[in-house]
Amino acid sequence: MSTSRRAVLGAAIGGAVAAGIPGLATAANAQGTPGSAAAWQLRWSPSASVDKLRAFETLEDDRADSHPAAAPHILAEGDTFRFTMHTVDRDTSTDRQRHEVTGCRDGNSFLQWKKGETWRITYSMFIPSSLKATTTFTHIMQMKQPGQGTGPIVVQSLRRSGGRQTIELKLFEQNITVGSTDLEPLHNKWTDVDFQMKIADGSAGSVRWILSSGGTTIIDRSRSGVDTFLADRVRPKWGIYRSLGDSSGSLQNCHLLLSQMRAYQLV
């Protein structure tokens, strides 16, 4: 990771208190330094070149076997994880496409995000101009309850409205947009993501979403007093999951790159 990228993520971690999100660490202890206040403990830091796809709990790579000639659609490539989507790819629900990974695997086990806990994910993403926002859903990160038939809790999505391409974070079940910013300035460059989530029922949950690029904070939004739990546990997902119902002509062969993935728990 470059010096400037480390500085941006460090500043984001140090600024947790400024957002006023319940339960987050103080600035002095935000990186896990000893002290009496709560601190972020690093729980997951996979290396794409070493751990490869063993970094994740499960893979959802062309579940319908719609395009075997292009397999694998998800792979570790140098120090990045790459998700490649083609216009001919189909999920088992044929009105959509999906190449995603789930969860955070650490050796022979995986992280369990439970109710009452606070978690943070940081990583860098590269969105090429071929991965466009669409008039229907295009999710590139989700927080979900594991299992079939449950909707997402939180989605990070590429959404087109009135011709404008945006990237947004939304509380899905409650239809609450936490924040949104223009996507096009982020195309073809690395963008740092810092996502924080206090897992709780009713109005006891909270989220914070920070995007930074080139040493500059693009957006920093938070929302408290929200429901961030369904049942069992919360599990993150990354990749490309998009509807074929786009009406803007934005669906193209594309890819998404992720690097420097980290998970922290507030303890």
* Tens-place pLDDT, residues 129-187: 999 999 999 999 999 999 887 889 999 999 998 889 999 999 998 999 999 999 999 99
Residue 32 lies in a domain: no
Residues 197-218 have a mean pLDDT of 96
Spatial CB neighbours of 22, under 8 Å, sequence gap ≥ 6:
198, 204, 206, 224
Question: In this structure, are residues 142 and 154 in contact, taking their beta carbons and an 8 Å threshold?
Answer: yes
Per-residue model confidence (pLDDT) at position 32:
40
DSSP string, the chain: --HHHHHHHHHHHHTTGGGT-TTPPPGGGTT--SSSS--EEEEE---TTTTGGGGSSEEEESTT---GGG--SEEEETTEEEEEE-TT---SSTTEEEEEEES-EETTEE--B-TT-EEEEEEEEEB-TTS--BSS-EEEEEEE-SSTT---SEEEEEEEETTEEEEEEEETTTTEEEEEEESGGGBTSEEEEEEEEE--STT-EEEEEEEEETTEEEEEEEEEEE----SS-BEEEEEEEEES--SSS---SEEEEEEEEEEEEE-
Residues 211-225 have a mean pLDDT of 96
Per-residue model confidence (pLDDT) at position 11:
44
What is the CB neighbour count within 10 angstroms for residue 61?
A: 20
Q: What is the total count of domains within the chain? A: 1
User: What is the band of 192 on the pLDDT scale with cuts at 50, 70, 90?
Assistant: very high
Could you tell me the CATH number of the domain that includes residue 175?
2.60.120.200
pLDDT tens figures, 81-137: 999 999 999 999 999 999 999 999 988 899 999 999 999 999 999 999 999 999 999
Residue 33 lies in a domain: no
Residue 31 lies in a domain: no
Residue 64 lies in a domain: yes
Q: In this structure, what token pair is assigned to residue 164?
A: 């404008």
Per-residue model confidence (pLDDT) at position 89:
98
In whole angstroms, give the CA distance from residue 206 to residue 198.
5
Judge whether residue 71 has pLDDT over 80.
Answer: yes
By CB atoms closer than 10 A (0-12, 13-18, 19+), residue 258 is buried
Per-residue model confidence (pLDDT) at position 54:
97
pLDDT tens figures, 219-260: 999 999 999 999 999 999 999 999 999 999 999 999 999 999
Q: In this structure, what token pair is assigned to residue 249?
A: 């002509």
Residue 230 lies in a domain: yes
pLDDT tens figures, 25-42: 433 344 444 445 889 999
Record the pTM: 0.87
Backbone angles phi, psi at 67, to 5 degrees: -145, 65
Look up the domain containing 53 and give its range. 3-26+38-266
Per-residue model confidence (pLDDT) at position 6:
42
Residue 164 lies in a domain: yes
Per-residue model confidence (pLDDT) at position 36:
54
Residue 139 lies in a domain: yes
User: What is the band of 263 on the pLDDT scale with cuts at 50, 70, 90?
Assistant: very high
Residue 141 lies in a domain: yes
Over pLDDT 70: what percentage of the chain?
87
Per-residue model confidence (pLDDT) at position 8:
42
Per-residue model confidence (pLDDT) at position 27:
33
pLDDT tens figures, 2-29: 444 444 444 444 444 333 344 344 333 4
